[in-house]
């Protein structure tokens, strides 16, 4: 073989090894997963023989729980309370593991001293309050169309047109809204007549 061929083959080999090294994925450093052995060891403050580390070391390696971490989990699981999410994030140290825990079980554990009933009561209290504003009972009353209920509804002549001024567009849209409400009312009345 010629000298240039040997150099070319060696260059290809070195480039292949370098690219192989560059492309290989870095093994993810998994957060410390809480198992039953670890949780008992952490509650007693003793050393865990399985992983060879102490609970103080585990806590130092975890990130602090931030509001943005809680918001990410709550976007995926809105039914969870922020206290549940914070408690699980403190245990796992990872948003991904917390989301996996939620996906597997459908919920997250409550912090010690809290129960699900407390949060249900708070939710019920929030829903039992009467609304402060009085809502109109129907669209006819809301848009003051009582006088037009018995009139025949005509299709607007500007159905496909768009007016150039803002006032004309507003008038056209309000007429269309009134027509739609009145047509729906008449359609419902005819359906009710057919059922009887």
DSSP one-letter code for 27: P
Q: How does the average pLDDT of the chain come out, rounded? A: 75
pLDDT at 6: 93
Region 91-102: mean pLDDT is 90
pLDDT at 165: 86
Structure tokens at 184: 């729906």
Return the percentage of the chain with pLDDT > 70, whole number: 64
pLDDT at 159: 62
List domains and CATH numbers for the chain: 49-116 (1.10.8), 139-195 (no CATH)
Per-residue pLDDT of 21-80, as tens digits, reads 888 877 666 555 444 444 444 444 444 444 444 444 445 456 788 888 899 999 988 999
- What do you get for the CA distance between the two ends of the chain, in Å? 100
Region 112-134: mean pLDDT is 57
Return the percentage of the chain with pLDDT > 90, whole number: 14
User: 79 by DSSP, 3-state: which?
Assistant: coil
The model's pTM is 0.34
pLDDT beyond 90 at 5:
yes
For residue 31, give the nearest of 74, 69, 67, 68 by alpha carbon.
69
């Amino acid at each position: 073989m010629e000298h240039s061929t040997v150099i070319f083959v060696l260059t290809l080999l070195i480039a292949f090894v370098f690219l192989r090294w560059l492309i290989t994925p870095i093994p993810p450093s998994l957060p410390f997963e809480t198992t039953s052995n670890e949780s008992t060891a952490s509650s007693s403050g003793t050393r865990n023989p399985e992983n060879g580390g102490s609970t103080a070391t585990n806590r130092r390696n975890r990130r602090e729980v931030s509001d943005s971490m809680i918001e990410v989990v709550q976007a995926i699981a809105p039914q969870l309370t922020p206290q549940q999410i914070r408690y699980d994030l403190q245990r796992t140290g990872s948003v991904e593991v917390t989301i996996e825990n939620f996906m597997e079980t459908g919920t997250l554990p409550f912090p010690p001293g809290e129960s699900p009933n407390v949060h249900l009561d708070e939710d019920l209290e929030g829903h039992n309050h009467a609304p402060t504003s009085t809502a109109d009972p129907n669209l006819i009353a809301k848009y003051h169309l009582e006088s037009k209920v018995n009139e025949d509804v005509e299709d607007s002549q500007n159905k496909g047109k768009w007016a150039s001024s803002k006032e004309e567009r507003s008038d056209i849209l309000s007429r269309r809204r009134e027509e739609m409400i009145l047509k729906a009312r008449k359609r419902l009345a005819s359906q009710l007549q057919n059922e009887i």
